[in-house]
Amino acid sequence: MSERSSDDVVRSVTAAFASAYGGAPTGVWSAPGRVNLIGEHTDYNGGLCLPIALPHRTFAAVSRRDDDFLRVSSAQQDGVVEVALDDVSAETPGGWASYVAGVLWALRRDGLSVGGLDVLVDSTVPLGAGLSSSAALECSVAAAASDLFGLGLLESTAGRAHLAARCVEAENDIAGAPTGGMDQSAALLCGEAAALLLDCRSGDTRQVPFDLDGAGCVLLVTDTRAEHALVDGQYAARRDACEQAARALGVDTLREIYPSGLDDALARLDDEEVRRRVRHVVTEIERVTQTVDALGSGDLDEVGRLFDASHASLRDDYEVSCEELDVATGTARRHGALGARMTGGGFGGSCIAIVRADDADAVAAAIADAFAEQGFTAPASFTVTASAPAARDR
């Protein structure tokens, strides 16, 4: 885990931009990674989710160009990718640069006056950890484009939500990852010391106070270092199953199936695998509501119980966990965590646990020991606080 401060990264990305493009950038913008406290695989089902923004951010040093070309480079990779904006497609430019090019493509398709950019990015968000490094990349560039082309989309909640929607289009249509809208909404709309209650059907949001310090607890994130990818077909298969179920049940999204009607809905579905997927989504949406209530009453023991139930559902009904995630969450619980669950799309990535502050180091060490015993790659554990959304840094 990088320990570089934001000021250090701003300085380094500015210098790298000058080296790559021969002049100083107009500015530096950044957007955070995210941890979803609860509400997994509910976003594309019209449901509820509850993310926080991480202190770990992706930084983009950016300047406008006088033409319609994008040049993009990264402190983590060699070379510069160049593409004409009119040529951007699901095939072009390909690779990680598609997440950047897709943002400009989506803004232009929306009828906004957006031209070319020179972009250099650097990040402290762990790649492949299920902490939404891709949305952090998209939203840092989207924030820059909004400011540099005078779109004004960072100046209101509605504008930020509009910008988040364009970033979702970029990821879905150009980068080829069929994600929902939670990650981009978190990067653009979360607030410090708060979780974002996001209604993915209406688009409504509400800040929910989330500050564990007063209870003597912390949120421990463990990057399992297990391979994590959303473009290998598994994520899309889960989404397809949910859409198939919604059609069979005669509803627009699974949000319309309430817990009280779940048994009847499941009885109308023929496929046992599809029934499991539906059961997870419906119960997970209800767990989000219960978590918000428990946070409001200061009942962290109940939040922990809901974390545990969420992980079991993701493991057994949605089948998106993996051995590393199960070992990490189980070890955290055995060593005193109030609750633990995988976070993100699954198939690898990270888990989160609510632990007493005095126990955090011991829990992290226990997870590391358990991984060593299993012969897994060593994990990286760190504590996080709810942090600020995308903004200009310089």
Q: Among all residues, which ones are annotated catalytic? A: 183
Report the alpha-carbon distance of residue 93 to residue 86 in Å, rounded: 11
Cis peptide before 25 (omega within 30 of 0): no
* Token pair for 59: 């930084």
Report the alpha-carbon distance of residue 20 to residue 119 in Å, rounded: 10
What phi and psi, each to the nearest 5 degrees, are found at residue 320?
-120, 5
The burial class, CB within 10 Å (0-12 / 13-18 / 19+), for 360 is buried
Q: What is the DSSP string of 202-241?
A: T--EEEEE--GGGGTEEEEEEE------SSSSHHHHHHHH
Query: Would you say 124 and 12 are in contact if contact means Cβ atoms under 8 Å apart?
Result: no
Report the alpha-carbon distance of residue 218 to residue 212 in Å, rounded: 6
Question: What are the residue ranges of helices labelled H in the chain?
Answer: 6-21, 97-109, 133-148, 157-169, 182-189, 234-249, 262-267, 272-297, 300-316, 323-334, 360-374
The burial class, CB within 10 Å (0-12 / 13-18 / 19+), for 51 is buried
For residue 151, give Cα distances in angstroms to 147, 247, 372.
6, 38, 50
Of 335, 319, 340, 321, which Cα lies nearest the Cα of 370? 335
Cβ-Cβ contacts under 8 Å for 380 (sequence gap 6 or more):
1, 126, 222, 223, 225
Report the alpha-carbon distance of residue 371 to residue 378 in Å, rounded: 6
